[in-house]
Amino acid sequence: MALRKTLAMVQTARRRLEPRELPVPDVRDDTAILRVEACGICGSDYEQYEGVLRTPMPVIPGHEPLGRIEAIGDAAARRWGVDVCSYSTAPVADALDFAAPGGTVVLAGVKGWKAIPDFVSDKIVIKEIRILGAIGVTSSGYRKAIALLEARRYPVERMHTHDFGLRDAELAIRTLAREIPGEESIHSCLLPTAEG
């Protein structure tokens, strides 16, 4: 049987991504294989790309995958309940304007130790806003987010601004970091099937 391979963009050094063919591992009882259909790019991907996070290399970046379970072991299916079948700082200041009195602003992810321009702390006091930091997301958080999306109450699709082919991963990260003149990325995705 021929060894299956897949293409991945691998970070080999600070600000360096390389395409590599890697073997697809066999599925064991307690593991699964996710066929990635898209992967979001966020501020922590840029921090890793810049070397700020001091991630051991080589590494395959990306922690916002979307895909389909291609294969799953029995123990993994039971454990996961599977029925087998900005880096940007501006939104932080903006959130204080949008938050309702007594509301909560959740800061998810890191901002690279950057100061927040136009941050007026009096808005927090006057509106009695609570600020909560979150480095990760719980399963209950995902359920609430999915319910919010399904309700279609807010036009969240307008936040997605760019799609990139897998081989354009470096361009995607640089676009998010606003290193590309004339490009403003709010949310971008890498699409393995797109040309790039």
pLDDT (tens digit, 9 = 90+) per residue, 89-103? 777 887 888 777 887
pTM of the model as a whole: 0.59
| Mean pLDDT over the full length of the chain | 83
Contacts of 185 (CB under 8 A, 6+ apart): 41, 161, 162, 172, 175, 176, 178
The percentage of the chain sitting over the pLDDT mark of 90, rounded to a whole number, equals: 27
Query: What is the band of 161 on the pLDDT scale with cuts at 50, 70, 90?
Result: confident
Strands 130-134 and 104-108: parallel
| pLDDT score of 65 | 86
| Residue (of 61, 62, 47, 44) closest to 109 by Cα position | 44
5-191, which class in CATH?
alpha beta
State mean pLDDT over 98-115.
77
pLDDT beyond 50 at 20: yes
Around Cβ 176, how many Cβ atoms within 10 Å? 28
| pLDDT score of 84 | 46
In the 8-state DSSP scheme, what is residue 63? S
Q: Best-predicted range by mean pLDDT among 4-18, 33-47, 65-79, 131-145? A: 4-18
Q: Spell out the domain ranges in the chain.
A: 5-191
pLDDT (tens digit, 9 = 90+) per residue, 42-85? 888 889 999 998 889 999 998 888 888 888 888 887 777 654 44
pLDDT beyond 50 at 31: yes
pLDDT beyond 90 at 86: no
| Alpha-carbon span 176 to 168, nearest angstrom | 12
